[in-house]
Each structure stands twice: as C-alpha cells, then as structure tokens.
Structure 1
C-alpha cells in the first residue's frame, strides 16, 4: 500500500554542514558526469538558501535557480562563484593513473 502523504526526497534537506556539502559534491564528481555535478551543485546551493548564495555571489536568485535547472549548462563563472559561496575552493591534482 502506498502512502499518499509522502513527500518527495530532497537531498538538500540533508546537507546541513559544510562537510556534508563537500562530501556530497566530491561523491558526484567521482561519477565523471558533468550534468550530475551541476545538478548536485544546485542542490548544495539550495541547501544553504538561494537568497544567501545570491547575496554572496552577486547573482540573482531566480537566475541561480534557472542556471542549475534540469539540463542547464551554467557558465563557469557562475559555477566558480557558487562553489566559493559554499565555502569551498577548486583544487587540482594529478590524476592517480598519471601520477
């Protein structure tokens, strides 16, 4: 019997700390799927509140929602600013297979 009162799962509700966000995004990166990472970044941004991310990035809240919508391809600058607003930074390292 299905529960008609069930609420759809929203991973943003479970990203309550900076470490949660970092781990979630790292796990998505490991999949080597850019669209999955973009979707995950949008979820991470929602977990912190799009109004707050908007304020920190200088990008409009509605623009952020649109940028990280299904099938969207946000500009690198947008991705970079959102990652910084989440308190994270890019780090590059040699791929283990080539190190």
Structure 2
C-alpha cells in the first residue's frame, strides 16, 4: 500500500457526544499548544456540525473552516465565540501539583548528576597541589 493511498486521520469522526467534546478539548488545552487547541476546536466543530456552529457563533461557515484549520490563525475573539457557541466557557486553575513519586525521582536524578566524582591524583606523582602552588607563587614573586 502506498502512503498516498492512506486516509488522513480525522478525529471528528470519533467524537460522539458532549462529553467526548469536553474531554478532547480539555486534553488540547492541557497541552498548551495554540495550534493543537485550534485544531481540536476545528475537530469538535466538524463533529457537532460546522453549519450549526456558524449560525450559533455568528461567524461565516467558510471563515470558521479557515480559522479552525491547522494552518489557520484565529483571533482570540473568534476562539471565544466558538467556545461560547459550543455551550462551554474557559476557567483558569493552578496546574496540578507534581505527584510526590515523580518529584522524588526528579530530585534524585538531579542529585546524582550534581555528585560527579572528583578526579583522583595519580600515584607516583612527585609533586602535590600545595607544592605546585608554592612553586608557582615563588616564580611570580
């Protein structure tokens, strides 16, 4: 099978109800990537029906397709209108705390990196670091 024969994945075909829409959008917002959020809004808009969403948001259907595509550059006002037309609203919250096990593992790995072994002086060396310092100090005096 050739790559050109493969169908492009369309998430909108798998979003069946309001709960699916909310979970899908929640994951996109959690990731924080604006392009991903915009594409997820486009997927949900297709799943719900772009024409109905255009009517409810007051934005032309063609403009919605462009704005919510992967290559679109929707204004924040457009995003807010789309979210409102979907019957949703944005809520801000502090990020969840890092679970303790993950935090301990991260701290342990940092400690291991910070504790690099010190180089050991070679045996049989006739000069020590103190004598080298004295010798270099005397040479400069």
Normalised by the size of structure 2, how large is the TM-score?
Answer: 0.61
1:96 aligned partner:
96
Unmatched 5+ residue regions in structure 2?
Answer: 98-141
The answer for the alignment partner of 1:8 in structure 2 is 8
Instruction: Report which structure shows greater RCO (CA 8 Å, sep ≥6).
Output: 1
Worse overlay, 44-53 or 68-77: 68-77
Aligned length: 96
CA distance in 2, matches of 1:52, 1:64: 11
CA drift of 1:9 comes to: 2.6
Per the normalisation by structure 1, the TM-score is 0.84
CA RMSD of aligned residues (A): 1.9
Larger Rg: 2
Cα separation, 2, equivalents of 1:95 and 1:7: 37
Rounded Cα–Cα distance in structure 2 between residues aligned with 1:5 and 1:71: 23
Structure 2 CA distance for aligned equivalents of residues 85 and 94 of structure 1: 26
Question: 1:32 Cα deviation (Å)?
Answer: 2.0
- The DSSP-based 3-state class of the residue aligned with 1:30 is helix
CA contact (8 A) 1:54 1:64 kept: yes
Q: Deviations over 1:11-50 (max 9, x none)?
A: 1011111110000011112222111111111111111111
Structure 1 or 2: larger helix share? 2
Q: Which residue of 2 aligns with 1:63?
A: 63
Superposed displacement of residue 86, structure 1: 1.4
Correspondences of 1:1-99 after superposition (within 5 Å): 2=1, 7-96=7-96
In structure 1, the gaps of 5 or more residues are none
